[in-house]
Amino acid sequence: MSTLNLDDFSDLIERPDGGVRRDAEERRARLVVPQGSLGRLDELGEWLAPAQAAVPVRPLTRPRLLLFAGDHGVASLGVSRRPAGGAEQLVRAVLDGESPAAVLAARLGVPVRIVDLALDCEPESLPAEVVSHRIRRGSGRIDIEDALTAEEAEAAFRAGMALADEEADSGTDLVVLGDISVGGTTAAAVLIAALCGTDASVVTGRGGEPIDDLAWMRKCAAVRDALRRARPVLGDQLELLAAVGGADLTAMTGFLLQSAVRHTPVLLDGVVSAACALVAQRVAFRAPDWWLAGHDSGEPGQAKAFDRMAVEPLVDHGVRVGEGAGALLALPLVQAAAALLGELPERPRPTHAEPEA
């Protein structure tokens, strides 16, 4: 019998300290640079202070790129430019430093951690540290069957929670969260459509490697069919993830919630992390206070999810490649905000002349 009760997160997750936020705002008003002149960086600095429970803000010195990897059975319908089961090659490109995310992470000095939840390959073909949290080999074809069993969904969710604890315990001060998947954007579109009450065509995009019109129509049909299976289980978020999410998306949702419990800030990437954030918000409404939307990927589902959560992406460069690349482009902005709000001096306090005798 399961002992996992998602309702507990509503009690466990607190908002960032409001008193620290007020202290940060008061300190900002005393800085030599006029208040408001730093634009969005002012907002970021005042978000970081309560997230860190520190005034002045501390520099971000230990960020990490964390990538959840998995294959999705729905990819066999031709909804992606990549072949079904092709996520292993994407993982290898990151490991070999040959993907955009790997290049950016190396340039920014950000360590990369890849976690295999459901890659469709032999575990022996990848480094042991990558496959240590694998739940199954590929998630089910969500248009006709559940992505996971109930037991697998709980195991994936707990794996995500464990990863959040590992990052918090290791001193990671900001997680850049991304995915490596084939078929993952289809599952994400289903989750977003189900939670926002929209039709398939409204949230279905063309993926990181844009597909043609025929493939897009196949993707819309797959999302539509999966939606019929998702709607009856909307009241139970773990059941929803088991039905139409997959091991990687389920683990990512658990990770986001437990990161909020542990007060670890998270920078979201594309439509997959946005979908998981939307599910996590349904579980605990205070959780999004611990996350930032990194960038606008151009995926309609991501825009819908961010709008529902009332978050605004930090950058919009049209980056669609996934794997955390877009969010990595936003990381220097967050680091700049921490540096400016933490290191700019305060205005000298006025001195009053001594009265004459």
Residues labelled as active-site residues:
323
Please give the C-alpha separations between residue 61 and each of 3, 217, 338, in angstroms, as whole numbers.
37, 44, 10
Token pair for residue 312? Answer: 């605004």
Token pair for residue 27? Answer: 């300190």
How do beta strands 291-293 and 266-268 pair? parallel
Burial class of residue 242 (count of CB atoms within 10 Å of its CB; 0-12, 13-18, 19+): buried
Q: Which of 99, 10, 64, 67 is nearest to 272 (CA)?
A: 67
65 forms bridges with which residues in the sheet? 112, 176
Token pair for residue 261? Answer: 């419990």
177 forms bridges with which residues in the sheet? 66, 268
Count other Cβ atoms within 10 Å, centred on residue 170.
10
Query: What 3-state class would DSSP assign to 303?
Result: helix
Q: How far apart are CA 120 and CA 111, in angstroms?
A: 25
Token pair for residue 91? Answer: 């993982």
What per-residue string of b and e applies to 260-296 under the rule 16 or more CB within 10 Å gives b?
bbbbbbbbbbbbbbbbbbbbbbbbbeebbebbbbbbb
Q: Where are the alpha helices (DSSP H) in 86-179?
A: 87-95, 100-108, 128-131, 150-170
